[in-house]
A = this chain, B = another copy of it.
Amino acid sequence: MKALLNHRSIRKYKGDPIDDSLLQEILTAGTRASTTGNMQVYSIIVTRDEEVKRQLLPLHFNQQMVMQAPVVLTFCADFNRFNKWCKQRNANPGYDNFLSFFTAAIDALLAAQNVCIAAEEKGLGICYLGTTTYTADKIIEVLKLPKGVVPVTTVVMGYPDEQPELTDRLPLAGVIHHEVYHDYSEGDIDQIYQQKESLPLTKKLLEENKKETLAQIFTDNRYTLKDNVTFSKNLLKVLEQQGFMNNDRTE
């Protein structure tokens, strides 16, 4: 519980490597996460080699923690292994469709979160890299991912070299609904975002970015329509290339 409540994303790491047996223990905790039908349709790529990390670096928009953290973990939706098993066992796999991709992505993400919590309990720091889905096509090349495998998130891991403050969260009532969804009124939205908008960090961001509202920093600078459209097309193409968009096959 303490590890859960004290999570901070760590973006600066010490040079110290992670002991093999510790990493093994953390990854084992990852594999205890729930998985659809106990199929475990995911794989984890453990990258420690400087040269491979250097190739991943621009695909994560040159965030230096990719080089600095001793371990980079790429979590992949993976039906390749399961499909091979089916074929070797005289079974005809039907997992080349969108539902199967999403099922495998869920498996990969629950395992990722278990890995992160285990790491934090052991005194390590982590940071998720959302860039994984933006540049999945190129990550597939660098990590030599075969058909049936799609990277869904990346986690860097190592000993923290910073102690950031706990980041803010929306009030719990802002993200919870009882029984059914109760849509938000204008007043609800004002109330839910009030605290975030009045943070000193927000004031600093508005000045730096010369923006009128915090929301504009998201829409105009950080997560733009143009980028989202480009990354959407790219990710859908990746799903097709990796064999997850045969949604009309009948036999």
Footprint of B on A, CB under 8 Å? 1, 4-7, 9, 24, 27-29, 31-34, 36-40, 42-49, 52, 76, 78, 80-82, 84-86, 88-95, 97-100, 102-103, 105-106, 109-110, 112-114, 116-118, 121-122, 127-128, 130, 133-134, 142-146, 149, 152-153, 167-170, 172, 174-181, 183-184, 186, 189-190, 192-193, 212-216, 218-220, 222-226, 228-229, 231-233, 235-236, 247-251
**Nearest residue, chain B, Cβ from A182:** B144
Residues of B within 8 A of A48 (CB): 178-179
In whole angstroms, how far apart are the Cα atoms of A4 and B122 in the complex? 13
- Chain B residues with CB under 8 A of A98: 232, 235-236
Q: How far is the CA of A192 from the CA of B85 in the complex (A)?
A: 9
The interface residues of chain B lying within 8 Å CB-to-CB of A44 are 175-177
Q: Of B24, B27, B113, B219, which is within 8 A of A113 by CB?
A: B113
Decide if B247 touches A34 in the complex (CB within 8 Å): no
- If A29-B1, A218-B39 touch, whether A223 touches B34 (CB-CB below 8 Å) is no
> CB < 8 Å: which of B9, B47, B100, B181 contacts A146?
B181
**Which of A27, A117, A146 has the most chain B CB within a 10 Å cutoff?**
A117
Contact A218 B86 (CB under 8 A): yes
The answer to whether A228 touches B181 (Cβ under 8 A) is no
**Given A37-B222, A81-B192, A97-B229, 4 new contacts (CB under 8 A):** A5-B28, A39-B218, A46-B176, A100-B223
Chain B residue with the shortest CB-CB distance to A45: B177
